[in-house]
Amino acid sequence: MPSDYVAPGQEYTRDTAYIESRITADGADGWRVEPDRYRLIVARACPWANRMLIVRRLLGLEDALSVGMCGPTHDERSWTFDLDPGGVDPVLGIERIQDAYFARVPDYPKGITVPAIVDIPSGAVVTNDFAQMSLDLSTEWRPFHREGAPDLLPAAQREEMDAVMRRVYTEVNNGVYRCGFAGSQAAYDDAYDRLWTALDWLEERLATRRFLMGDAITEADVRLFTTLARFDPVYHGHFKANRQRLTEMPALWGYARDLFQTPGFGDTIDFAQIKEHYYVVHEDVNPSGIVPKGPALDGWLEPHDREALSTGGSPFGDGTPPPPPRDAELVPQHATPLPGGVAPVR
């Protein structure tokens, strides 16, 4: 998760000083796309890392890009591999993702964040620029996509989609954090108003189209979904983004359920880890460390009936749904309201 800080009395500002190296087909930055060379490090709790899990699943990059999972909590040093036997990542042989940052830049002074992609031979982080990373999976890693991988960045819609994604990022993805970490009443009030202005815009937009760009899923939907999945469990209460619950916004709630029930989306969501991360790690917001038992999550499986907004065809456009998750990457059953796994796409 990108590093967070707030100055008392001020608006929350996200630290965006990332390692901006890119892994490309031509290796222009010194890092060439190669299967089995890199390891994607994520935490299911983190919305920015969750994006990468979804895109990797949709594009079918499991064979080319392995994944390492950090646990849901961390200390001031970094995320840890406490879910793995012995607390050590089995490929990188490290206990903390911090070690991979230090292998790249000794005494790395910036935020130790996920997602990050690590060069396995050197053990060094290549990049933690989460916004560019998912775009590169669609473009630079294309030779390793599965047959039937959807086009998440359709060229004909790219200009409009980039504008939508910018607004989603500044006002919604980051907007909930501006509410939760506001350093003053005035900063909170401004953040709250901006967030709900954007959510009302999205509610109106999604009332007439199945997905953000039309009939097919794109990168824009991936970016919005990970915030919506955390909205009622975390952001509504913990971050005081509480004008309404997601379940009280018909278009957004139907849209979120539609994506949740689509292979590649809901099967990456671990609600238990999400709640544990926010309520335990954010001691300044929740000093008791108590994790709430609610809200009820069974509504995620309710019919959404959003197919009626589509002109036909698959949510994957000319592509196909991804296969089921691999056994090693399944979300524990206790973490999800899906007793039998994700419902098939309709």
Which residue ranges are tagged as binding site for glutathione? 79
DSSP, collapsed to helix, strand or coil, labels residue 280 as helix
Q: Are 49 and 57 in contact (CB under 8 A)?
A: no
Q: What is the 3-state secondary structure (H, E, C) of 199-238?
A: HHHHHHHHCCCCECCECCCCHHHHHHHHHHHHHHHHHCCC
Nearest-angstrom CA–CA distance, 245 and 35: 42
Nearest-angstrom CA–CA distance, 216 and 213: 7
* CB hemisphere CA count around 260 (13 angstroms): 25
Catalytic site includes residue 177 = yes
The total number of residues written for the chain in this structure: 346
Residue tagged active-site, from 12, 18, 38, 177: 177
Q: Are 63 and 98 in contact (CB under 8 A)?
A: no
Catalytic site includes residue 179 = no
DSSP, collapsed to helix, strand or coil, labels residue 261 as coil
Residue tagged active-site, from 12, 18, 38, 46: 46
CA dihedral sign of residues 285, 289, 294, 297: positive
Q: Residue 320: what residue type?
A: T
Annotated binding-site members? 79
Q: 219-230 and 47-59 are packed helices; what angle lies between their axes, rounded to 10 degrees?
A: 140
Q: Are 195 and 172 in contact (CB under 8 A)?
A: yes
Residues acting as catalytic residues: 46, 177
